[in-house]
């Protein structure tokens, strides 16, 4: 109550002070550069919240944190010098992470009230929420406790306590946490220097933390604690096991409700679950972690995707090549993969005194194919494509279903062209992406132009500032001319040139980094690739690396989730299933099967002596698009009764009629 009364006065008071101070300290101004480049002057010591209020009160109410000179800050922290400035709301990752990390502090406060004497390790934000690792001593925690904690958190959130930042000396911090008896925080303090230590307090809870935090707990309106897990201290099995409590919070109940619905849907669509149920792929310990084996049904999908890619690339003037899976060390020294990317490659095999590596990229092999015959300007653009198999050593902790694996089949190609040809070639590649998106019904995607960072030339990026500027401008021009929306990101380019990263979103909003379209002005020189120009001089071609369909592994994982396993007919491993009502009709069913097979329809018969209801249910579960039910009437009339997955009964048709329709549907790759 007290707060409610006081606040308006405080605000009035602050405004009054501002008015007083402003004229007195006119020379104590700072320049704040807004994201649009506009520069505004504020009094030294102004906070992000002050700046937000000067822009709009509505905006100020939504602001969770601010980016000051590229660093995320509390909105209540005074800014004492000129700065670049960006406000962060729920829609920015920086804002969301600050919100979730602050929620971890709120959860810690609730845990401490329920389990006095609890000790805390760390509580970071994660992809979808946050966690805190805690040492509960002799106590245990169960699902029921999570519900109680949620109630306590909601109560504390309602108190709308401010998150208060305080700089503190190392001695004071050590004293505080020694008195509290929290050896984990003391361990963290050991690694910190005097002068860089801050603590944050909200309500009755104080944590060692570098921040930042949202202004107050009242921003947290909806809370769900999702999971309890064990986690070794510092991730080391030899250490004590702590309790990790996961949660997620939102600025409104509506957002939490939507999230929970999405979570349920995502579980149903999980590609690992569908991949197993539908017999798409398998893994085996004897083969090795992260090494996918495609079963017959998965292989059908692979072949259909490759057919699509080959048709599209053929239209685009690509030629196909095939290269081995290994190469000698010398090639990867030339390409620069060694020693820089040795960590992500399988260790070498020794043979005849030479080291051989499994390839982690197809590019070097393709460059050798380019170099195999002399080229003139007439041979360019030279486009070569391969569904290349590459091997990458992902850490075992990073492996995840089809998304992170150790053997990948990549929709790869390289285009070698002159500078003059670049615009058209790069644009054609972008058009190819858009064509594919249309086929797969991907209407949500983001293209990011990843640029270099001038201060990392010669370290992270090839040291050729002029070529960077030139090629970045070339890519920007193509994107702008083609009217493709894109965002620019600093310091995300490839080692050898700028690139377009494509992120797509599945129906349930899950994000996939699918593929990149990259410009490379460097490898051509490393591999001494040349062509003769019209006036007989020797030039190095530009190289475009592209893989619009990414890898089979990631793309099929995406498709399974995107379609919830109900693949369009052209991709479905089994396109039609014939379901005779009883044994009497098996002969006719086999005749129908042969007719469909003649037209390359992937078709099977369910000739088990099960009831038709059971057969339909099982076929539905296997997500087969068409079911052809055959009984007395169908045999007599020389027809089939058609059911469509998810649509039900489509009536009776002659086999020819059905064939005509399904063949058309496949040919057009209808969704």
Q: 173 or 363, CB closer to Zn ion?
A: 363
Q: What angle do CA 562, 566, 569 make, to 5 degrees?
A: 115
Beta-bridge partners for 503: 446, 513
Q: Sign of torsion, CA 482 551 520 370?
A: negative
We find the least distance from the C-beta atom of residue 129 to Zn ion, in angstroms, to be 15
By three-state DSSP, how is residue 129 classified? strand
Give the H/E segment covering residue 166.
strand 164-167
Asked if 75 and 49 count as a contact pair (C-beta separation under 8 A), the reply is: yes
d(CA 441, CA 330): 43
d(CA 457, CA 464): 7
Residue of 182, 225, 172 lying closest to 205 (CA atoms): 182
Binding site for Zn ion (CB under 5 A): 209, 363, 545
Q: 209 or 603, CB closer to Zn ion?
A: 209
Q: How far is CA 616 from the centre of its chain?
A: 37
We find the least distance from the C-beta atom of residue 286 to Zn ion, in angstroms, to be 32
d(CA 330, CA 354): 9
Q: 79 or 209, CB closer to Zn ion?
A: 209
Q: How far is CA 623 from the centre of its chain?
A: 27
Q: 198 or 477, CB closer to Zn ion?
A: 198
Burial string for 197-226 (b: 16+ CB within 10 Å, else e) reads bbbbbbbebbbbbebbbbbbbebbbbbbbe
We find the least distance from the C-beta atom of residue 295 to Zn ion, in angstroms, to be 29
Asked if 577 and 585 count as a contact pair (C-beta separation under 8 A), the reply is: no
We find the least distance from the C-beta atom of residue 361 to Zn ion, in angstroms, to be 6
Q: 209 or 300, CB closer to Zn ion?
A: 209
Q: How many Å from the N-terminal Cα to the C-terminal Cα in the chain?
A: 59
Residue 647 neighbours by CB distance under 10 Å:
9
We find the least distance from the C-beta atom of residue 124 to Zn ion, in angstroms, to be 9
We find the least distance from the C-beta atom of residue 104 to Zn ion, in angstroms, to be 7
Residue of 193, 209, 189, 192 lying closest to 201 (CA atoms): 209
Q: 384 or 504, CB closer to Zn ion?
A: 384
Asked if 30 and 44 count as a contact pair (C-beta separation under 8 A), the reply is: yes
Q: 119 or 269, CB closer to Zn ion?
A: 119
We find the least distance from the C-beta atom of residue 546 to Zn ion, in angstroms, to be 8
We find the least distance from the C-beta atom of residue 26 to Zn ion, in angstroms, to be 37
Ramachandran angles phi, psi of 140, nearest 5°: -120, 165
We find the least distance from the C-beta atom of residue 504 to Zn ion, in angstroms, to be 20
Burial of 144 (0-12, 13-18, 19+ CB in 10 A): exposed
| Eight-state DSSP code of residue 645 | T
Q: 209 or 556, CB closer to Zn ion?
A: 209
We find the least distance from the C-beta atom of residue 621 to Zn ion, in angstroms, to be 41
Q: 212 or 557, CB closer to Zn ion?
A: 212
- Whole-number Cα distances in Å, 628 to 279, 498, 611: 22, 52, 15
d(CA 317, CA 321): 13
Q: 209 or 449, CB closer to Zn ion?
A: 209
Q: 370 or 563, CB closer to Zn ion?
A: 370
We find the least distance from the C-beta atom of residue 514 to Zn ion, in angstroms, to be 15
DSSP string, 494-553: BTTB-EEEEEEE-TT--EEEEEEEEEESSHHHHTT--EE-TTS-EEPPEEEEE-TT-BHH
Q: 214 or 628, CB closer to Zn ion?
A: 214
We find the least distance from the C-beta atom of residue 99 to Zn ion, in angstroms, to be 12
Q: 199 or 579, CB closer to Zn ion?
A: 199
We find the least distance from the C-beta atom of residue 320 to Zn ion, in angstroms, to be 16
């Amino acid at each position: 109550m007290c707060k409610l009364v006081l606040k308006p006065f405080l605000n009035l008071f602050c405004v009054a002070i501002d008015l007083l101070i402003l004229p007195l300290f006119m020379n104590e101004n700072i320049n704040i550069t807004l994201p649009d480049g506009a520069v505004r002057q504020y009094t030294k010591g102004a906070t992000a919240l002050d700046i937000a209020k000067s822009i709009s009160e509505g905006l100020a109410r939504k602001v969770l944190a601010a980016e000051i000179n590229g660093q995320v800050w509390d909105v209540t922290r005074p800014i004492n010098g000129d700065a670049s400035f960006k406000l962060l709301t729920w829609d920015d990752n920086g804002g969301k992470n600050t919100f979730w990390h602050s929620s971890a502090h709120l959860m810690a406060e609730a845990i401490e009230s329920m389990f006095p004497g609890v000790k805390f390790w760390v509580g970071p934000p994660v992809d979808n929420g946050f966690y805190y690792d805690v040492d509960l001593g002799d106590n245990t925690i169960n699902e029921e406790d999570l519900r109680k904690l949620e109630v306590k958190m909601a109560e504390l959130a309602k108190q709308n306590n401010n998150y208060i930042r305080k700089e503190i000396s190392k001695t004071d911090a050590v004293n505080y946490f020694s008195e509290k008896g929290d050896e984990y925080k003391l361990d963290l303090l050991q690694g910190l220097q005097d002068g860089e230590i801050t603590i944050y307090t909200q309500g009755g809870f104080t944590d060692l933390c570098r921040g930042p935090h949202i202004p107050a707990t009242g921003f947290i309106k909806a809370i769900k604690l999702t999971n309890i897990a064990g986690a070794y201290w510092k991730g080391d099995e030899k250490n004590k096991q702590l309790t990790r409590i996961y949660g997620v919070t939102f600025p409104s109940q509506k957002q939490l409700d939507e999230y929970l619905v999405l979570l349920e849907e995502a579980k149903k669509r999980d590609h690992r679950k569908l991949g197993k149920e539908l017999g798409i792929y398998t893994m085996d310990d004897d083969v090795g972690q992260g090494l996918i084996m495609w079963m017959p049904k998965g292989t059908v999908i692979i072949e259909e995707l490759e057919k699509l890619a080959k048709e599209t690339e053929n239209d685009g003037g690509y030629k196909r090549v095939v290269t081995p899976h290994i190469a000698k060390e010398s090639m990867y020294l030339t390409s620069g993969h060694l020693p820089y990317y040795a960590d992500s490659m399988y260790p070498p095999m020794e043979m005849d005194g030479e080291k051989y590596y499994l390839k982690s990229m197809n590019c070097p092999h393709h460059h050798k194919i380019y170099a195999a015959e002399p080229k003139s300007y007439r041979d360019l653009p030279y486009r070569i494509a391969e569904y290349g198999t590459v091997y990458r050593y992902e850490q075992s902790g990073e492996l995840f279903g089809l998304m992170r694996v150790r053997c990948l089949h990549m929709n790869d190609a390289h285009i070698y062209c002159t500078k003059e040809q670049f615009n058209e070639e790069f644009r054609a590649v972008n058009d190819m992406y858009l064509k594919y998106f249309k086929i797969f019904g991907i209407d949500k995607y983001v293209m990011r132009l990843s640029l270099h960072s001038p201060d990392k030339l010669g370290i992270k990026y090839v040291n050729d500032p002029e070529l960077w500027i030139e090629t970045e401008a070339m890519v920007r021009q193509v994107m702008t001319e083609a009217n493709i929306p894109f965002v620019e990101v600093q310091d995300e380019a490839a080692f050898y040139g700028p690139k377009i990263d494509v992120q797509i979103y599945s129906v349930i909003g899950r994000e996939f980094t699918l593929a990149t379209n990259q410009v490379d002005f460097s490898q051509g020189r490393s591999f001494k690739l040349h062509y003769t120009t019209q006036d007989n001089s020797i030039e190095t071609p530009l190289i475009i690396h592209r893989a619009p369909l990414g890898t089979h592994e990631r793309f099929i994982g995406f498709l399974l989730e995107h379609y919830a396993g109900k693949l369009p007919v052209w991709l479905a491993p089994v396109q039609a299933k014939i379901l005779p009502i009883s044994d009497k009709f098996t002969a006719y069913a086999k005749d129908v099967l042969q007719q469909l097979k003649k037209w390359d329809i992937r078709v099977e018969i369910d000739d088990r002596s099960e009831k038709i209801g059971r057969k339909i249910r099982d076929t539905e579960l296997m997500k087969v698009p068409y079911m052809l039910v055959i009984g007395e009437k169908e045999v007599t009339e020389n027809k089939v009764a058609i059911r469509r997955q998810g649509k039900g009964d489509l009536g009776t048709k002659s086999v020819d009629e059905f064939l005509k329709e399904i063949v058309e549907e496949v040919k057009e790759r209808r969704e």
